[in-house]
Structure 1
Amino acid sequence: MTGLDDGRLASIRAGFPYLHGRAYLNSGGAGLAWRGQSAAAAVYYDDVASMGADGQRLWMALGVRARERVAALLDVPVKDASFFRNTTEVINLAANSMEWHAGDEVVVAADDFPSVVWPWVRAEAAGGRVVRVDPGTEPQREDRLLEAITSRTRVLAVSHVNTVTGTRLDLDRLGRACREVDALLVVDGIQALGSLPVDLTYVDVYAAGVFKWLLSGFGTGIGVFRERARDKLTPAYRGYRNKPPSTDFGYADPNYPGLYVLDATLEFLGSVGWPVIHGRVDELTRRTADAIRALGIEPITPADAQAGIVSFRTEDSAAITAELLRAGVHVVEKLGLVRVSPHFYNTTAEVDRFAEALETALAGR
């Protein structure tokens, strides 16, 4: 496997106790915690216990460092990145910071995650329209979104990687099309960030919770508002951190205990190496897809547009998922599909264990 010898991988896996005895292939649901996180969170509470409010300078300084780590990971200016509660808050903040007019249009895929689709109904109250695009087959998804963009489009809102099908969209292609009509590209990146390299050159707003591929638990979300978005949007939420005329969208203190965890985890992941992590996710995902094909099933996820997720359909996906769990293989059923999502801490042996358990489950149907 890419970039990690057996000894280094074994050392990393020792920090993820839930991996013992099972094949956990559901990081697209929630990434596993590692042992260093409890210690990181304890530092925050120890600081508060020993210093009270006098320790504020410490946790604020750590928040700045975590923000710098995120900005470096996404290759954006630090001022563009802020912390929020979750992905949904960031997308709603973008939707409610737009001044809508009659005739405005927002383009979304009809089957996209609710947090991508529903924040934009405010445009309809102003006489606009949310254009819900039938994505067709997965290879058609991106083209159909592009075909729906018109001179009336103000926003294209998409998932970077679809949470059900695993299809990855080309953000450069979508962003260039948005700029041709002066629209914003708003992206839910929760199923991408940490599993593959992310390029925000043509993205205006990028939102991602940290509990999946960034392994850092619930309650913290990353929101990136690029300069082009700040020029077009007026922050709907105001507070002591972004008093007018500030165009910063961070309006209050973030979840500092969560940032202690995120900061430590980003340091840990950086020590593994992001190219190594991304390469392993890619290799394990491809191995998973190949194993599924070897059993006579063609994955729903396009081979040329996948990231960390491979989804496929069987006659009874819920029953198959349950049988895999009984065999110690953790995957999930989503809207009639079986979804498999390995992370860098998984091994080829665990993917092979999944394939063997799937073959046995299919044979028993």
Structure 2
Amino acid sequence: MMALEGFADMGSGLPVPWLEAPRSCRHYRPMNDALDTAAIDALLTDEFPSLDRHLYVNHAAISPWPRRVADVVSTFASTNRDEGALRYPQWLKTAAGLRERAARMIGADSGGDIAMVANTTEGVDIVARGLPWRDGDNIVTVDGEFPTNRMAWERLAAVGVSLRSVDIRATDDPEAELLAQVDERTRLMTVSAVQWTDGFRLDLARLGSGCRQAGAAFFVDAIQQLGALPIDVTACHIDFLACGGHKWLMAPEGIGLFYIARPWQERLVAARAGWRMVERPYDMDSAAQSDATDARQFEPGTPNTMGQLALDASLSLIEAIGAEEARRRVLANTQALVTGLEAMPSVRVLSPSAPERRSGIVLFEVPGRSAQALCGELGRHGVICAPRGGVRLSPHLYQGKAQMEQVLERVEQVAGGH
């Protein structure tokens, strides 16, 4: 066995108990100081029955649900079956609390800065349709971005907006190269906090500060970072952030969050109109309604109530563990995998080696071998991973030393590491 070093009542009326954190709205941080390492280990072992089934290292695609999320979904379904919408007021109360919980997680000022969306793509689309574009404007981005953070911007060529892409892996200072592309006609810089293939992590604070000085808006696709590593939208001068819930946030598909900084809530056009974008959407007898003045103006239609309850449950788990503990666990897994993979002669690690560039994703290849075939063979050995220009491993905070040792053993078997 390969040795590894460096390890050490949502208020909705649904009868699903878990550790509830206080709702003081400030930065993403540990919310329950009583949880020590042993208590967290016990909590996570109970929350993830998948630990006993296989080595699931594919959270950069879709995460297994924690037990509390599955319980909420199950209870919501049976409640709807038996009672219909009788508990809708309670569900709305939980949805309002979810905004505050999400705001705490990302360092936003209040839940009013958070809109609930279906996915990251919807957040991108809100900005792409809502900014007042002019012929000759440009957008600065990263070469090789996931299609979500590329296609909407490319289509703005129809109104005269150009896209400037930077190869961040071809330079020793990717932030400087990105900021060097910003000029007086740059309306927006858009980046993924963590790149979806090799886990390359950007310095968001440096980029946000540079954009603020240049007068360009800053958009972050946070789906490969939020839930694994902290993000503070205030400290990083982020104007817009979008994140689907089904990866590192460990929630179902079809629910996510969109952050919009307060100054932009008055400037960004809500391109889609619907009954819920007003201040009092459930006051249906009122003929005179004004649009909501906060992020709710970007929620035009009927909400994904079940998804909101499930996301609130998953965020409650991350919040109970705390940002620094989550970060420590995720990066310990990354370090263990990189160290073990680099010791295998037949394996080449493709993820960045600098500690400040690391995330929860580790990408490797076996030269001369197909990534698709390697992932298939690893799957037959119980390791669930993904081919993304190599073999992509993405373990999460509830896994640790024992699971990383097992993953490395199976990679060594499949890759022929000796």
TM-score (norm 1): 0.92
Map of 2:319 onto structure 1 = 270
Question: CA offsets, 1:241-296, max 9 Å, x none?
Answer: 33465443222342110111111222233233332222111111111111122224
1:54–1:354: structure 2 CA closer, same or farther, 3 Å change rule? closer
Task: Give 1:212 deviation, angstroms.
Answer: 0.8
Which residue matches 1:175? Answer: 208
- Mean CA deviation greater in 186-195 or 14-23: 14-23
- Aligned CA distance change for structure 1 residues 240 and 148 (closer, same or farther; 3 Å): same
> What do residues 92-113 of structure 1 show as CA deviations (whole Å, max 9, x unaligned)?
1110001211110011223101
Say if 1:30 and 1:211, in contact at 8 Å, map to a contact too. Answer: yes
Letter in 1 for 2:380: R
Match of 2:91 in 1: 59
Partners of 1:222 and 1:59 in 2: CA distance: 17
Please list the CA deviations of residues 312-352 of structure 1 after superposition, one character each: whole Å capped at 9, or x if unmatched: 23222222222222222222110x22111111111212111
Is residue 186–residue 206 contact of structure 1 (8 Å, CA) maintained in 2? yes
TM-fit CA distance, 1:48: 3.4
Larger mean CA deviation between 6-15 and 342-351 belongs to 6-15
Percent identity, aligned pairs only, is 30
1:85-234 equivalence runs, <5 A: 85-137=118-170, 139-201=172-234, 202-234=237-269
Distance 1:4-1:139 versus aligned 2 partners, 3 A rule: farther
Q: Relative to structure 1, is the Cα distance of residues 48 and 347 closer, same or farther in structure 2, using a 3 angstrom cutoff? A: same
> Which one is further off, 188-197 or 271-280?
271-280
Residues 16-63 of structure 1 deviation map (CA, whole Å, 9 limit, x = unaligned) = 222214221111111111222232123333443454344321111111
Computed over aligned residues only, the root mean square deviation of the Cα atoms, in angstroms, reads 2.2
SS at match of 1:36: helix
Partner of residue 384, structure 2: 330
- State the aligned residue count: 364
Give the counterpart letter for 1:91 in structure 2. Answer: V
Report the Cα distance in structure 2 between the residues aligned to 1:21 and 1:57, rounded to whole angstroms. 38
| Alpha-carbon spacing, 1:111–1:46, altered in 2? closer, same or farther (3 Å) | same
Q: Distance in 2 between matches of 1:138 and 1:113?
A: 20
**Is 50-59 or 179-188 further displaced after alignment?**
50-59
Partner residue of 1:321 out of 346, 367, 375:
375
Contact 2:331 2:359 in 1 (8 A): yes
Is 1:357 the counterpart of 2:407? The answer is: no
Compute the displacement of 1:12 (Å).
2.2
Structure 2 gaps of 5+ residues are 1-6, 9-34, 279-289
TM-score w.r.t. length of structure 2 = 0.81
For residues 207 and 307 of structure 2, the distance between their equivalents in structure 1, rounded to whole angstroms, comes to: 32
Matched residues in 1 for 2:42 and 2:161: separation? Answer: 55
1:178–1:53 CA distance, 2 compared to 1 (3 A): same
**329 and 4 in structure 1: CA distance in 2 versus 1, 3 angstrom threshold:** farther
- Which of 314, 317, 332 lines up with 1:283 in the alignment? 332
Q: Which moved more, 1:35-44 or 1:55-64?
A: 35-44
Task: Describe the shift of the 1:203–1:24 C-alpha distance in structure 2 as closer, same or farther (beyond 3 A).
Answer: same
For structure 1, the 5+ residue unaligned runs are: none
Query: How far is 1:206 from its partner?
Result: 0.4
